[in-house]
Amino acid sequence: MTSSPPSASPVAVVTGAARGIGLSTTQLFLEQGFTVVMVDRDAPELERVSSALSGTEPLVCDISEPDQVTELARELTQRHGRVDALVNNAGVADFRPLEETDYATWREVMATNLDGVFLTSQAMLPLLKAARGAIVNIASISGLRASTLRVAYGTSKAAIIHLTQQQAAELGEHGIRANCVAPGPVDTKLALAVHTAEIRAAYHDAIPLNRYGSEREIAEVIVFLCSTKASYVTGQVVAADGGFQSTGVGLP
Ligand code: NAD
């Protein structure tokens, strides 16, 4: 099979793009002239959303499955031969303490949140090298500070922060930058599933801006970090959290 000619527009790959922060990031990349490869394991939703967004290409992939990620990279190599921006956004949440977290749940959270970022970044490396591209990994304020809940989620997000620093150290010589965004609470399906009324109220009180963030506010930071405006920024964690991280108040 012959390869497609290299893409004229820059190519962004966004995982977990079918909804939430990933979908908003996709829309912002489109506004900036990118071709956006939307990756998600939710095939019907991905197809539905992508068909309404010109300039996107849906690719169904469960990023926790090594074979599927290998196939994703093969497909991208054929279609584009480069990746200018890789946004490792797909994630799952579980808000339980150590004592109540069964091993299957621990593995499920780690498989997507941590293994998925490792697998996807590694598989995309030749494509990122070809473009001297940028990686943005999505962590969380839950990876910056411990809590009495979220043993699996928080640990996976803390590990993503270290993985980002590792990527920045290792890949700088190829002109590849790697940064991390640590969002505060955002009203997405993920948050709605785990934020109880008590957690919501506590966040509103503890966040200096006294509100949840929007998907767009997180996307703006992600796309900035991928852009040439951030060309000397690598290995950083940007907390997009309404000031929560600066307060020293514990996570609800
Ligand atoms: P969301 O649940 O609305 O969207 C997540 C998307 O990822 C879904 O479309 C889902 O199908 C996809 N996905 C999940 N596992 C996948 C897998 N293994 N392979 C491929 N696709 C998969 O969530 P969101 O709130 O938009 O979260 C996006 C990222 O932001 C996550 O990494 C999350 O941990 C992080 N985050 C969210 C919040 C928040 O309050 N919403 C706060 C901090 C960090």
User: Ligand 1: which residue has its CA nearest to atom 11?
Assistant: 42
The answer to whether residue 103 is catalytic is no
Residue 222 clears pLDDT 70, i.e. is over it: yes
Domain assignment present for residue 250? The answer is no
Which of 7-11, 61-65, 82-86, 201-205 is predicted least confidently? Answer: 7-11
Domain assignment present for residue 3? The answer is no
Count up the domains in the chain and report the number.
Answer: 1
| Residue 181 confidence (pLDDT) | 98
**DSSP code, position 173:** G
The stretch 174-182 carries a mean pLDDT of: 98
| Residue 6 confidence (pLDDT) | 55
Residue 209 clears pLDDT 80, i.e. is over it: yes
Say if residues 26 and 83 touch (Cβ distance below 8 Å).
no
Domain assignment present for residue 176? The answer is yes
Percentage of residues in the chain having pLDDT higher than 70: 97
241 in ligand 1 pocket by Cβ < 6 Å? no
As for the ipTM of the complex, it is: 0.99
Domain assignment present for residue 107? The answer is yes
Percentage of residues in the chain having pLDDT higher than 90: 95
CATH number at residue 196: 3.40.50.720
Residue 1 clears pLDDT 80, i.e. is over it: no
Residue 7 clears pLDDT 90, i.e. is over it: no
Domain of 129 in residue numbering reads as 11-241
CA 252/CA 237 separation, integer angstroms: 21
Domain assignment present for residue 251? The answer is no
pLDDT in tens, 40-88: 999 999 999 999 999 999 999 999 999 999 999 999 999 999 999 999 9
41 in ligand 1 pocket by Cβ < 6 Å? yes
CA 68/CA 63 separation, integer angstroms: 7
26 in ligand 1 pocket by Cβ < 6 Å? no
And the tokens for 56? Answer: 């996107």
Question: CA-CA distances (angstroms) from residue 112 to 68, 109, 140, 182, 222?
Answer: 13, 6, 14, 17, 19
Q: How far is the CA of 5 from the centre of ligand 1 (A)?
A: 32
Domain assignment present for residue 114? The answer is yes
Say if residues 63 and 69 touch (Cβ distance below 8 Å).
yes
Identify the active-site residue in 103, 153, 203, 232: 153
| Residue 8 confidence (pLDDT) | 79
177 in ligand 1 pocket by Cβ < 6 Å? no
Instruction: State which ligand 1 atom lies nearest to the alpha carbon of 17.
Output: 9
The stretch 238-246 carries a mean pLDDT of: 97
Residue 3 clears pLDDT 50, i.e. is over it: no
| Residue 5 confidence (pLDDT) | 54
Domain assignment present for residue 102? The answer is yes
CA 218/CA 5 separation, integer angstroms: 33
The stretch 82-97 carries a mean pLDDT of: 98
Domain assignment present for residue 56? The answer is yes
pLDDT in tens, 127-167: 999 999 999 999 999 999 999 999 999 999 999 999 999 99
| Residue 18 confidence (pLDDT) | 98
Residue 240 clears pLDDT 50, i.e. is over it: yes
| Residue 2 confidence (pLDDT) | 42
| Residue 248 confidence (pLDDT) | 86
Percent helix, strand, coil in the chain, to 5, is 50, 15, 35
And the tokens for 245? Answer: 């991280």
